[in-house]
Amino acid sequence: MATKSQSRRREGIPAGTAATKNIGLRGVTVADTRISDVDGEHGILIYRGYRIEELAENSTFEETAYLLLHDALPSEEQLKDFTQRLVKARQMPSFVLHTLKNMPHGAHPMDVLQAAIPLLAMADLELYDESREANDARAVRLIAGVAAIVAAWQRIRHDREPLPPDNALSHAGNFLWQLMGEKPDADMVRALDTVLVLHADHSFNASTFACREVVSTQAHMYAGVAAGVGALSGSLHGGANAKVMKMLQELKNEQDVAGWVRKQLDSGQKIMGMGHAIYRTTDPRAKYLKQMGEQLGKKLGQEQWHRLSTEIEETAVAEFAKRGKTTIKPNVDFYSAPVYHLMGIPLDLMTPLFAVSRIAGWTAHIIEEKFGEAQGKPALYRPSSDYTGSYCGNTGCVYEPMEKRS
Ligand X SMILES: CC(C)(COP(=O)(O)OP(=O)(O)OC[C@H]1O[C@@H](n2cnc3c(N)ncnc32)[C@H](O)[C@@H]1OP(=O)(O)O)[C@@H](O)C(=O)NCCC(=O)NCCS
Binding site for ligand X (CB under 6 A): 236-237, 240, 270-277, 325, 327-328, 331-333
Q: Which of 312, 388, 351, 92 is nearest to 230 (CA)?
A: 351
Contact 113, 153 (CB under 8 A): yes
Rounded to whole angstroms, how far apart are CA atoms 83 and 80? 5
Active site residue 276: yes
In this complex, which beta carbon is closest to ligand X, that of residue 209 or of residue 222? Answer: 209
* CB 347, min distance to ligand X, A: 15
In this complex, which beta carbon is closest to ligand X, that of residue 10 or of residue 26? Answer: 26
Beta bridge partner(s), residue 292: none
Residues listed for the chain: 406
Rounded to whole angstroms, how far apart are CA atoms 257 and 234? 25
* CB 50, min distance to ligand X, A: 21
In the Cβ-directed half-sphere of 199, how many Cα atoms lie within 13 Å?
29
Q: Which uninterrupted H or E stretch holds 44?
A: strand 44-47
For residue 255, what is the DSSP state?
Answer: G
In this complex, which beta carbon is closest to ligand X, that of residue 145 or of residue 293? Answer: 293
In this complex, which beta carbon is closest to ligand X, that of residue 69 or of residue 248? Answer: 248
Tell me the residue nearest to ligand X as measured from the CB. Answer: 275
Rounded to whole angstroms, how far apart are CA atoms 165 and 169? 8
* CB 271, min distance to ligand X, A: 4
Q: Which of 202, 333, 341, 365 is catalytic?
A: 333
Q: Which of 171, 202, 237, 276 is catalytic?
A: 276
In angstroms, how far is CA 337 from the centroid of its own chain? Answer: 14
φ, ψ dihedrals at 224, nearest 5°: -65, -45
* CB 158, min distance to ligand X, A: 28
* CB 268, min distance to ligand X, A: 8
Active site residue 333: yes
In this complex, which beta carbon is closest to ligand X, that of residue 62 or of residue 333? Answer: 333
Q: Which residues are catalytic?
A: 276, 333
